[in-house]
């Protein structure tokens, strides 16, 4: 998902896998104007509008029933087949819970109840169900409605829209090394 990766850079990214024939790299250009008014809190200077592009996956991949979305900074160190084969049941997404930090984030956006708050950096997505539920429209509408309240934009919106419809994954799938230095 990109707005301006040049053909030369696409070739570099496509050739990184050393000639393996079981890897295919596909580029999906996204119209950045769709997200021009989407909020990015000033304290998140390291993120860009591209964080919202995952919202479009149900429409960008119309022939797929599911996908695994991964942020560019997620490093896979093992076989992801078990992740792909995860039974989502009636859930729309599978993701890793933020644990205690997620409870704080839930309060910031007004979510209550026992359902956890999830990371959005690695998602198993039921694209077919998302299309049936018109999830793209709901994600866009929720982003607009919560624009002044969201602190972790795409992640907050996914947690709001799919509340109680996110299957918890084990922490091994999206561990974050957090270091605090006062």
Name the residue among 119, 109, 123, 107 with its Cα closest to residue 178: 119
| Higher per-residue pLDDT: 137 or 113 | 137
Give the whole-number percent of the chain exceeding pLDDT 70: 96
Cα gap 48→30, rounded to integer Å: 13
What does residue 29 show for φ and ψ, rounded to 5 degrees? Answer: -70, 145
Q: In the chain, what are the domains? A: 52-173 (3.90.550.10)
User: pLDDT category, 180, cuts 50, 70, 90?
Assistant: very low
> First CA to last CA across the chain, in angstroms?
36
The pTM (predicted TM-score) of the whole model is 0.89
Summarised one tens digit per residue, pLDDT across range 80-98 is 999 999 999 999 999 999 8
């Amino acid at each position: 998902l990109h707005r301006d990766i040049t053909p030369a850079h696409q070739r570099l990214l496509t050739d990184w896998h050393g000639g393996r024939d079981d890897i295919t790299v596909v580029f999906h250009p996204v119209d950045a104007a769709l997200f021009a008014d989407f909020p990015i809190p000033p304290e998140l200077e390291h993120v860009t509008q591209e964080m919202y592009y995952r919202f479009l996956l149900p429409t960008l991949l119309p022939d797929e029933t599911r996908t695994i979305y991964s942020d560019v900074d997620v490093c896979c160190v093992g076989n992801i087949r078990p992740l792909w084969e995860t039974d989502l049941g009636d859930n729309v997404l599978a993701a890793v819970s933020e644990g205690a930090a997620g409870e704080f984030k839930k309060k910031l956006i007004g979510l209550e109840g026992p359902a956890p708050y999830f990371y959005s950096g690695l998602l198993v997505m039921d694209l077919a169900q998302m299309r049936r539920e018109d999830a793209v429209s709901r994600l866009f509408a929720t982003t607009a409605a919560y624009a002044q309240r969201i602190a972790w934009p795409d992640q907050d919106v996914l947690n709001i829209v799919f509340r109680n419809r996110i299957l918890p994954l084990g922490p091994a799938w999206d561990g974050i090394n957090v270091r605090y230095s006062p």
